[in-house]
Amino acid sequence: RARDRCGDPQAATYRNMQLHRQPASLGAVHLRGGAAPALPRPQRERLSVTAPSLSPWAVADQTAGQGAGQGCVSRRSGACTGRASSGRRAAAAAAATVATARRGVVCATAAAEASSSTASASGLYAGKKAVVVGAGPAGSTAAMYLAREGFEVDVYEKRAEPAKEGGVDNGRAYIIILIPRGKAALEELGVELPTDPHFLTLGSVRHPPSGKVSVTKEAGNVTWSRSDLAQFLINEARSRYPRQIRFHFGMSVEMIDLVYKQAYMVPASDEGSRQSRTAIAYDLLVGADGAASQMRAELESADKDFKVDISDSGREYKVYLNLPGDIEPEEFRGKDGSTLHLWTATNDPFMSFTAHRNPDDTYSGTFSMRTGDHANVRSPSHYEHLLTTRFAGIPPAWVPAIAEQVWTRQPSSAGKRVRCSRLSAPSVVLLGDAAHAVTPVFGQGANSSLESAKVLGHALRAAAGDLKAVPNTYDEMRRADAHGLYEIDRKAFSFFSRKGPLDPDFLQLLSHVVLGTVLSKLVPFLYGDKPKLLQLGTAPYGEILAAVQRDAAAAACIAATVIGVVVFKLGSWLLPKATVALRSAMGAA
């Protein structure tokens, strides 16, 4: 397609293309003419491109044609002029002229839209089209970074909008705590996080099997349910970039064509149906569709050099909701704010129980078990037995209600660990769980996803308008940290697997924390104020992994030196005695 300026600097012209409105749907247009490439694969049927939110040029066509039954916009003497059916006011924001119906080129002004928008469509990539697959926190944040640089952005999401009926899956509900890493990605966009006390994190409370409660205070973090965070960011994207960002819910990606840069979408209810397939052209395609990413699978099938490692957390969880009570320790009692309680089970590192305080002072949470163990529970009373015998301190009044709720729900995976050999392909990038999913052990999933959206924004600026350079630039800026996060999360699994004190991953993490704590006290000017693993809120993941490996190697050298000294001292003490004994034996002989 060719875009041209037409009078108003915001206007756009399509050449070698004719737009035909269908009577049943002004949102559907068919592309004809020599500019359209031949369709690849079996999709050589007539191409239908659907845009639920009409673009400025489609709005102009609709405004001019509603009364006359047909409409197009032509360019005369370098300026856009408008004509509408009698009785209809000409829209100053979309000045339109009805011209020939055979050879149409479209030119629509957007001055009124631009004046009402809170964000400008100008930028290094003005006029370029980005398609984002996935409207979770990562997808919506990426959409805002793209729009900031001038992209027109369409976001497609398989599920319903969270705020709509059926948009929230309570069986998978869990909380997200935004730490400085995730908050920084939103603050760079100017997104103001809620300051209501109920969103602010007070801290966490641990309930070990011994019953001895420990409290960790936190300040500045923000707690959300996943659905609330997703809807908040959708709303922010809409309000900040109303001209540039459009959301399409209930739409799933079926396949992508990397050659012709088209993504084929189908209604989520009609997956696999070619009749309902819609081809969406893009200049940049962003995969943010979660750990089970269809986008990632498409790249994997299209490129034999694109490799993906996926491992499961080994845990499944069920959710319970809205139980009344007050389980706060003295440190948090009477204070507004969010708290997270964590129970560990007796003799089973995979079993855990959580409770977080809701804004209405009720509690919701999860009951996690080793994968497959939920299927072995035969009744609510069995759950009651587990809750009362394996955990210390769960309120007795909660136990029957929790057992009834979790008994009726299906278990969900507690997370997968994903590592991609690279995070890009031509005109395509992956971010969030689609690129680097992790388990909840360190609470980095959503925070790392938002950070990846920020890195994409930085890559767009580093590429300085060179769209072809964006994917590789993003990959170079993010891959090391994504792989570092994968390794850190994988090593943390040793705490659950409990292979023993000689497990290499366990020893590496332990050595880093112990040696790092000592060095941070002895030589803070050289080492820093604390080990990198304890700086997960801000430190780059690649640096954290390098510090873990460095300190583990240093600890191994120290241990080897100590062992060598001990052996030498022991040998120095034993050698004279052995020599005397040997001489005595020889003399006796």
Distance CA 223, CA 218 (A): 11
pLDDT band at 510 (very low <50, low <70, confident <90, very high): confident
State mean pLDDT over 88-93: 36
Q: Residue 313 CB: number of other CB atoms within 10 A?
A: 22
Give residue 582's identity as a one-letter amino acid code: L
pLDDT (0 to 100) of residue 174: 76
Q: Residue 291 CB: number of other CB atoms within 10 A?
A: 19
Long-range residue pairs from 579-584, CB within 8 A, at least 24 positions apart, any chain: none
* 437 pLDDT higher than 80: yes
Q: Which residue has the tokens 């930028």?
A: 123
* 348 pLDDT higher than 50: yes
90 - beta bridge partners? Answer: none
pLDDT band at 505 (very low <50, low <70, confident <90, very high): confident
- Find all residues with CB under 8 Å of 456, minimum gap 6, and list them: 142, 145, 146, 286, 429, 431, 474, 478
Q: How many CA atoms lie within 13 A of 321 on its CB side?
A: 9
Q: What is the pLDDT of residues 106-130, one digit of tens each?
A: 333 333 333 334 444 578 999 999 9
Query: What Å distances lie between residue 540 and 100, 118, 220, 545, CA to CA?
Result: 58, 32, 20, 9
Give residue 173's identity as a one-letter amino acid code: A
Q: What is the pLDDT of residues 245-302, one digit of tens each?
A: 999 999 999 999 999 999 999 998 866 566 688 999 999 999 999 999 999 999 999 9
pLDDT (0 to 100) of residue 575: 67
Taking all residues of the chain, what is their mean pLDDT, rounded to a whole number? 80
Q: What is the pLDDT of residues 162-208, one digit of tens each?
A: 998 666 666 566 789 999 999 999 999 999 999 888 889 999 999 99
Distance CA 381, CA 372 (A): 18
Q: Which residue has the tokens 């510090």?
A: 547
- 384 touches 399 (CB < 8 A): yes
pTM of whole model > 0.95? no
State the DSSP H helix or E strand holding residue 328, giving kind and residue range, or none if neither: none
More confident residue, 39 or 217: 217
Single out the residue of 456, 453, 454 nearest to residue 473, CA to CA.
Answer: 456
